Every structure is written in C-alpha cells, then in structure tokens.
Chain A
Amino acid sequence: MTMKLGHALALARKDWRRIFREPAFLFMLILFPVVLTVAFGTSFGAVGGARVSQFKVGIVALGGDTTTSTQFSQDLGASGTFIVSHYADNSTAQAALSEGQLQALVLLPSGFERSVQSFRAHPGEPGEWTNSTISVYLDRGSALTAQVIPTMLAQVLDQGVLGVKAQAEATPLSLASPSGVTVKETSVFESFAPGLFAFASIYMIMIVAQSYTVDRETGMLGRILVTPTSSAEIVAGSVLSYLVIALVQALLVFACVYALGYHPVSGTDGLVVGFVIVTVFALCNIGFGLITAAIAKSAGAATGISFAFLMPQLFLGTFVGSALSATAQEAGRFLPAYYVTDALTSLWTRGASVTSLAVVTDLAAVAASSAIILAAGVLVFRRFGNR
C-alpha cells in the first residue's frame, strides 16, 4: 500500500493543534524547555555576572615534584580559575577534600613526567608514548561545580604542559572530561547548555505516549484505523508533527541560552548540524513514546512507564551525566541523548569542525539509534498498541 502524504499531513496538523491548544502539551513541549533553560541560566551563573570565579584544587605529585608537575601546577594557578594547594601525600589531601577545604583533588601519577616527555618527543606517535592516568577526586557535595572542573583541568593540561592545540587530540594522559573550552570565559551554565537541548526534547517520550494512549482510550485511534489511513501514515503524521516541534524546541532553547550568555563558538555550519542532530533525536523519542504507548493500558500508566525511558537518558545522557560515576558515564554511551549532548558540546562549546570524527561519530550514533528505536516503536505499537 502506498503512503499518502496528505493523510500524514492531516494528522500532523491535528497534532500541532493539540499541542498549541491543550495546556499540558503546550507546557511540556514548548514552555517547559524555556522555563528550564531560564531556571538553569539564572541559577548557575549566566545572569548577574556570576562567572565562575575560582576553584580550590589540591595537587599531590605521587612521583614527587618534577619540572612538568610544577609547570602544570603553575599553569593551573595562572589560569586565574584555580587556587592551587600542594599536599605531600594522598591521605592528607583526601581529608582536606572530605572536609570541604577543596573542590577537587588531582593526583599526578608517578609516570606523569615520563608521559609528558614521551608525548613531546614523539608527537603524533601514540605507539611511542608512555600512557598514564591522572586521578581527579571531586567534591560530591558540590556536584554542579564538579561538572566543570574536569573540563577545565583538561584544558589547562592540554594547552599547558602538553601544548596541544587541536580539539580532542589524543595524548598519553587521560582525564575524565574532554577538553576544548576557554577556561576564563566559561561559566557553569555554559558547560550545561548543550545538555539542555536533549533534556528538553526527552519529555517528548511522555507526550507521544500520552497522545496515543488517550486516543486509544477515547476510541479515536480505532476510529482513525477504520478510515483508509494506514498505520504507517498515522506514525508518519506523528513524525512530521514532532520533528517540527523538536526544531521549534531547539530554536527556543537556543534563543534562551544565547540570551543568557551561552554563545556557541561554531560557525553557521556547526549551528545547522547541531540543530539537525537535535531534530533527528526526536525520532528516538517518538519511538520510545510508541513503545510506552504499546505497553501502557492507560494515559496515567503511560506517564509512569515513560519515566523508564526518560530518566536514564536524563541522568546518563545529558549534563547531569558528568557528575556521576565512571561506570554510570560509560553506561550513558548506550543512550542516544549522550551523543546529542556530546555532539553539541563538541560543535558549539569546543568549536569542533562538522567533519571532525567526534561530530560525525555522534551524528551517526544519533541517527542510527533513533532509526532503530523508531522502527522498534512502530513494530511494537502495531503489534500490541493499536487495539
């Protein structure tokens, strides 16, 4: 049976009217992203000149003080963002951290000097490097501040002792967070901003699920199914309507974050690709919404079940993720939202090229996972959800 675009468009227009006429839908899809963005912006440093001032960081050089460890320490201090304290041993420093005297503790490994020297001697030759890991302990009582510190540390490390200029260039020293931000210009809000786009879009799962379950409860879904409209056209109508809504959401969030001080460093191409990624991500949310609607027996149940798909993405796939354990952060890699946030961070915060491996990989991951989840949603809903 051929797909009739007119049927899908008619249903999409119906969905748009619902979204703009039903207060709950309007709030969740349009007003909520704006409220969320403004709330975060005003709370975490984008309004009132609340730039990040200084963080207290402790350093322990496990291999003893060396030229490079001293240089790294000086670079941190010179950045103007860190107040550096030196500790002779880990236990003393850990005590200071646990007592709230520090917001972060950096343990430079014994191989720190060798790693830096091997990188300087053989740039671009990973096989010749001596790899080592810098341990960073964060103040768990200040989770939001902790979001930013690893990024800033990585920035200072890359641009200081390692002399790395390119975005996301490999080095022998690993640190939890990616680099690329300009330390002195970064606020907490700016670190969060890319995550807001996925955060706002994820709630589409609940709206799509509610929309289908309400239509099923009221008999409207059955009624549509006894017209010449196919299931595929019904889903296509939803896809059309929610893709437009996703784009509107993204533009609104962008306008808000921009007004609140987050100014992407990318060019127009980076902005366009960013919006494309956020829009494509809507397909994933529609798919999860259909799966939820197939499982749920009522609109109320749909709301509850939607959280099973919503919460993991919120906590592991958006800005909240970097405050979690390494295991939780690894788990985030299995969620589409992670790649949306990562792509926007690379494009808009780090200034990565649209053709960079990181961005292309993220885009591919979002597109592939969204297509798979949407297809699964359609199949599950057709099998279990439309009666």
Chain B
Amino acid sequence: MQLENGRTAVAVSIRGLTKDYASVRAVDGLDLSIPEAEVFGLLGPNGSGKTTTINCLTGLLEPTKGKVEVLGFDVQAQGPAAREVMGVSPQETAVYPYLTGEENVRLFGELYSVPRKALNARVDYVLEKVGLLDEAKRRVGKYSGGMKRRVSIAMALVTDPRVVLLDEPTVGMDPQARRAVWDFILELRDRGKTVVLTTHYMEEADELCDEVGIIDHGKLIELGSPGNLREKYQARDMEDVFIRLTGRGIREGA
C-alpha cells in the first residue's frame, strides 16, 4: 500500500481504535497510519492513552472497537504472525533479574526461534549497540536502572524486527546511554525499520521522530513532523507545542 506522498508502505495501521476499562474510555476512536522506515513518536500526558495504544498494538490488550494492523497483519485475528514481525520494549523495565544480560537477550531470541548461530551474533551485536557487551555476563539484578532499560531494549531488538515498539525507552538513562540508544534507533530507521515510541522527553521527540502524534483523553489531537508543528504553533521547541496543546495542568495516572 502506498501513501499519498508515495514515500513508502504503511507499517502500522490503526482504525477507529477504542479501548474501555469499565467506565473509563482510555482510547477513543484513534486513527493512525505510520509508514515504514519512520520513527514515530506517540506523545501525551500521563493517562492520555499512549501505553494502552501500544498494548493494543502488541495484542496484549483486546480493543473494545476498531482494528489494528502491523505490516498488514491483523493483530487480533493474526496475532502470531503479527508478533513475529514486532519487537517490544514495554514501559516497565521488564527483565529477569536472576538472568545475566546476555541470557535475557538470548531468551528472547529463542522465543522468536532465531537459529542458534545467527542468535549468537545478534546477541553480541545488540548488547554492543546498547553499550552492555562488557557487562553481558553479570546478572541483571546487579545492574543500574539505566542499564536494565538498555537490556530491555536489546531484548526487543535481538530478532532484528521490522517494527519496533518502545514504550518510554530512555527513562532513567544518563545522557551518554540515552545518546547511544538514540543513535541505535536512528540506525534502525536508516535500515528500513519502523520505530514507534512513546516518550515524555520532548527533546527526544524533537531529535528522533520523523512524525509525532499527540494524544489526549484517548483522542489524537495533533499529527505532524516536529518541525512542522513548531512552525504551526510558532513554538521554540516540542515542549512548547506539547504544553500549548495539552495545557499546564498536572495529570494523574499513567
């Protein structure tokens, strides 16, 4: 499928996505098309529906209404096929503390049935990319918070997936580690991968994203490249854009 600008095919398609939790509507009729080979930022205040959207994308949550497709696979109807092409780093620093960094990453390669020989090379590659090759034999329980986040990202990328979902990937990282992860994400994009990330760091969105979608109260309220949005709102940076669109009031929830 070609987009109107003819640039590339759609990697992620979200149509009328609605997700209710009891009486709360977390996502409200979201429509979104994310092209291949793009870094897409899903921005929004706490509780705006970012993580719920990501969880519907991964198939972890079943939408109340609407349809989600990843590389043409219906996430609900063709879950296994859709999961084969995705790598996911969730919002929680989900790692096994009793395994080493290498064992965590290797486990996820095995769960995607990556052949052993190829897996050895991929494990070393992604650990090097996130700056943890020297620490690979240490148990993750001994890692700092930022190191655990990097292992989590390496686990998502060990299979070289075509679509990468990163939910707040750089939380808790020092500037050097954050920069290394950014470089890795841009390298992925340059190699034709599609990266969908959520973040509260507006400079991260500015630096990385080809396009951002700002959602609030479960609805998409703005969509465009960071440059275009800055210009449209005559803002100094993305944080300024974000505040203008979502207000200054502090939000509760996640």
**Which residues on A are within 8 Å of B, measured CB to CB?**
1, 4, 6-7, 10-11, 13-14, 17-18, 21-22, 218-220, 222-230, 387
A218: contacting residue among B60, B80, B94, CB under 8 A: B94
In the complex, A227 Cα to B108 Cα: how many Å?
A: 8
In the complex, A21 Cα to B138 Cα: how many Å?
A: 13
Complex contact A228–B83 (CB within 8 A): yes
Complex contact A220–B94 (CB within 8 A): yes
Nearest CB to that of B81 among chain A residues? A228
| Min distance, Cβ B19 to any Cβ of chain A, angstroms | 13
In the complex, A24 Cα to B61 Cα: how many Å?
A: 33
| Min distance, Cβ A309 to any Cβ of chain B, angstroms | 25
Tell me which residues across on chain B come within 8 A of A230, comparing CB atoms. 80
In the complex, A22 Cα to B98 Cα: how many Å?
A: 7
Complex contact B80–A14 (CB within 8 A): no
Complex contact A17–B59 (CB within 8 A): no
B73-115 contacts to A, CB under 8 A, are: 80, 83-84, 86, 88, 90-96, 98-99, 103, 107-108, 110-113
Complex contact A223–B90 (CB within 8 A): yes
In the complex, A75 Cα to B149 Cα: how many Å?
A: 75
Tell me which residues across on chain B come within 8 A of A14, comparing CB atoms. 96, 99, 103, 107
Complex contact A222–B60 (CB within 8 A): yes
Complex contact A6–B110 (CB within 8 A): yes
A interface majority secondary structure = helix
In the complex, A282 Cα to B176 Cα: how many Å?
A: 48
Asked if A220 meets B96 with Cβ closer than 8 Å, knowing A6-B110, A6-B113, A229-B111, the reply is yes
Tell me which residues across on chain A come within 8 A of B93, comparing CB atoms. 219
Tell me which residues across on chain A come within 8 A of B92, comparing CB atoms. 218-219
**Which residues on B are within 8 Å of A, measured CB to CB?**
55, 58-61, 80, 83-84, 86, 88, 90-96, 98-99, 103, 107-108, 110-113, 139, 155
In the complex, A258 Cα to B80 Cα: how many Å?
A: 50
Complex contact A226–B58 (CB within 8 A): yes
In the complex, A26 Cα to B16 Cα: how many Å?
A: 49
Shortest Cβ-Cβ A-B pairs, 3 listed = A219-B92, A219-B94, A10-B110
Asked if A17 meets B88 with Cβ closer than 8 Å, knowing A6-B110, A228-B112, A230-B80, the reply is no
| Min distance, Cβ B227 to any Cβ of chain A, angstroms | 33
Q: Could you name 7 residue pairs across A and B whose Cβ atoms are closer than 8 Å? A: A4-B113, A10-B107, A14-B96, A14-B103, A17-B99, A223-B90, A227-B112
In the complex, A1 Cα to B81 Cα: how many Å?
A: 11
Asked if A228 meets B111 with Cβ closer than 8 Å, knowing A1-B80, A219-B90, A223-B90, the reply is yes
Question: A220-B94, A228-B84 provided; 6 other pairs, C-beta below 8 A?
Answer: A4-B113, A18-B96, A219-B93, A223-B94, A224-B111, A227-B111
| Min distance, Cβ B228 to any Cβ of chain A, angstroms | 32
Complex contact B110–A226 (CB within 8 A): no
Tell me which residues across on chain A come within 8 A of B94, comparing CB atoms. 218-220, 222-223
Tell me which residues across on chain A come within 8 A of B99, comparing CB atoms. 14, 17
Nearest CB to that of A7 among chain B residues? B111
| Min distance, Cβ A8 to any Cβ of chain B, angstroms | 10
Nearest CB to that of A9 among chain B residues? B110
Complex contact A225–B111 (CB within 8 A): no
| Min distance, Cβ A381 to any Cβ of chain B, angstroms | 16
Tell me which residues across on chain A come within 8 A of B110, comparing CB atoms. 6-7, 10
In the complex, A230 Cα to B81 Cα: how many Å?
A: 12
